[in-house]
Structure 1
Amino acid sequence: KYLNRKSTPMINRKYWKGLVGVDLAFWSCSSPTSSAVLSFLQEVQLSRSGSPIVVLREVEKAGKSLGWGHKPKTIRIIGRDLIRDLVVPTVDPSGESLIISPKDFERIKDASHVLTKEERAAQEATLKAEREAILAAVNERKKSMQLKEILRKKNEKLNDLEEEAKERAQYLLERAANLRMEQEEEIKALSEIVLEAKCHAIRDAQILEKKQIEKEMSEEQMRLARMMEVERQKANKMQDELEQKRKEELYRGRRYMMEQIEKNNELHAIRSEQRDQEAQEMLDYLERLQFEDERVSQRNGQDLDEEKTPSSGYSCICRLQH
């Protein structure tokens, strides 16, 4: 793809260096290749010269032998929608094709195969089982060898030096065991002392915590008692104020009623006095009328009128008095 371009191609070095087993003799193109591309490809092959399937050749010689200098034969196909130029396939004229052995081919094939997750897990399990079997066999053989060595040492007779060394070792072992027992007893005693100290410390802490809780509870009760006393005093004060207001309202009500009674009495007295005065005025008026009637009757000398007039005036006076 890159070599078919006339200009200098943009080569991805990581891609080209990743190619293994590239035979430069098979690179061919229809256009002239720049020297930069050829030198880079030669560098790739030289850097991978350790591969067993790489055949190093001179690039320019291989190119001349393959006929890179001339254009390949093409056939033009004209269709309804497009025109295409097809390159006529040619056989490699050099005859230097790369041939590898079946073993190398299988190795490359196995290396190119990507294991799945299940295959990888099965392979790891197989390897693990093989390692465990090998370790078990090694341990079994080691135990059998140790058992044989112990039996050999038991059956073998000891000389004087070995017997003395054995007795000394036995003595040292017994002394070490006794010292260990003493140390264990001392350690046990120290552990009991430490445990007892911890128990006392925990008990003291619990007692202190209990006292602290009791103190806090008493303080809380005192605080609640003070709050209740304050609330009680507030309630008493409010009750006293309400009682005082009620008394004041009652006093004002009584005073207002007395004032209304006095006003009503005064008004009643005034009205009574007015009625008496009006009645007196009416009586005076009637007396004057009676007096006038008498004078008229005396003038006219009519006895009948004189008898009727006093009776009518007397009835009016009685009604007014009532």
Structure 2
Amino acid sequence: QPSSDVSSGSSVSVHSKSRRYRTKALNSEVDETLFGSAKLNTVKEDDASEKEGPRQGKAASAPAGGQKEIIRIITKDLIRSLIVPTEDPSGKSVIITPQEYNRIRSAARFLTKEEREVAMQKMKEEKAEILDAVCNRKNHMKQQEVHRKKNEKLNEMEEEAKVNAQYLLEKAYAMRMEQEDEIKHVNELILNTKCHVIRDAQILEKKQIDKELGDEEMRLDQMMEVERQRAIQMQEEIEALRKQERLRGQLQLLEQIKKNQEEAHLNEEVREQETQQMLEYLEQVQLEDMKVSKAPESLR
């Protein structure tokens, strides 16, 4: 049974491998696990066959009657038909003429400093020539117009129209002069009115300024008077304080003198008492001496 199990397992593994992988060659020496799944191998094989090119054949049908060109590619696995587009798929292709190509090529070339100077000089000369030609043409046209006007004869209607136009111009000029005189007079009146208004405004402004200056001076005078009165009051207070200090000093001095006198009087009394006591002591000593001198000699 073990051998049968092994054989059955090996057969199952062989069958599973045969179902899972597709053999590329009978004598292959490469590990087939490197090729991945069967589906991926099929795709890779198709890509390789496309890169190598068709092996069996290639058929192409040329466009005829507006039909699209079809290219048929035959490989060992499949046959594919490719449609060749008649237009550029990107839509960015541009077809230019040889002249345009040469112009772009010449414009793209780098010019040296001398070549640029020559090109600028040539451009200036061409521009000057064009301007001269235009000026000459204008002058020629003006001369032709002047010559035509001189040689042209006026008919009766044109003469009459010219006279009427001249009359209208003269009348318009006269009316304009009258209107200008009136306008000048009105402008003078307006100017005089403006001058009077400005003068009145200046006078009023001057009065207002003078009034403001007077008020300011009065306010300053009042402030100065208040400051002066305050300074006088402060000076009086200072003098009163000084007077009080002097009086206090005098009182202290008198008290000190009185105290000194009292102390001197007390000292005098103490000295008198001491003197009196000394005299009394001396008298007592003398009395004792006299008593001693009067006593009998035996007692001595």
TM-score (norm 1): 0.55
2:230 to 213, 234, 243: 234
Q: Is 1:42 aligned to residue 38 of structure 2?
A: no
Deviation at 1:250, TM superposition (A): 0.9
Deviation at 1:152, TM superposition (A): 2.3
1:107 to 100, 103, 113: 103
Amino acid in the other structure paired with 2:199:
R
1:268 to 264, 267, 270: 264
Q: Which residue of 2 aligns with 1:246?
A: 242
Q: Which residue of 2 aligns with 1:149?
A: 148
| 3-state secondary structure, aligned to 1:226 | helix
Q: Is 1:223 aligned to residue 268 of structure 2?
A: no
Amino acid in the other structure paired with 1:152:
N
CA distance in 2, matches of 1:122, 1:220: 79
Deviation at 1:191, TM superposition (A): 2.2
Gap change, CA 1:115 and 1:290, over 3 Å in 2: same
Matches within 5 A, 1:1-322: 42-43=88-89, 48-49=94-95, 51-53=96-98, 103=99, 106-113=102-109, 129-130=128-129, 132-153=131-152, 156=153, 158-299=154-295
Deviation at 1:47, TM superposition (A): 5.3
Deviation at 1:241, TM superposition (A): 1.9
1:98-157 CA-partner distances (Å, limit 9, x unpaired)? xxxxx555423344357899779768755754554344234322431332233224xx3x
Deviation at 1:41, TM superposition (A): 8.5
| 3-state secondary structure, aligned to 1:42 | coil
1:248-276 CA-partner distances (Å, limit 9, x unpaired)? 11111111111111111111111111111
Amino acid in the other structure paired with 2:97:
P
CA distance in 2, matches of 1:291, 1:203: 129
CA distance in 1, matches of 2:240, 2:87: 117
- The count of corresponding residues between Structure 1 and Structure 2 is 212
Amino acid in the other structure paired with 1:232:
R
| 3-state secondary structure, aligned to 2:97 | coil
Worse-matched range after superposition: 241-250 or 113-122: 113-122
Deviation at 1:166, TM superposition (A): 2.6
| 3-state secondary structure, aligned to 1:176 | helix
Deviation at 1:246, TM superposition (A): 0.8
1:145-181 CA-partner distances (Å, limit 9, x unpaired)? 332233224xx3x444333333222211111111111
Q: Which residue of 2 aligns with 1:305?
A: none
Where in structure 2 are there 5+ consecutive unaligned residues?
1-46, 48-83
CA distance in 2, matches of 1:225, 1:246: 31
TM-score (norm 2): 0.59
CA distance in 2, matches of 1:162, 1:285: 175
Gap change, CA 1:195 and 1:269, over 3 Å in 2: same
Amino acid in the other structure paired with 2:255:
E
Q: Which residue of 2 aligns with 1:20?
A: none
CA distance in 2, matches of 1:139, 1:114: 40
Amino acid in the other structure paired with 1:211:
K
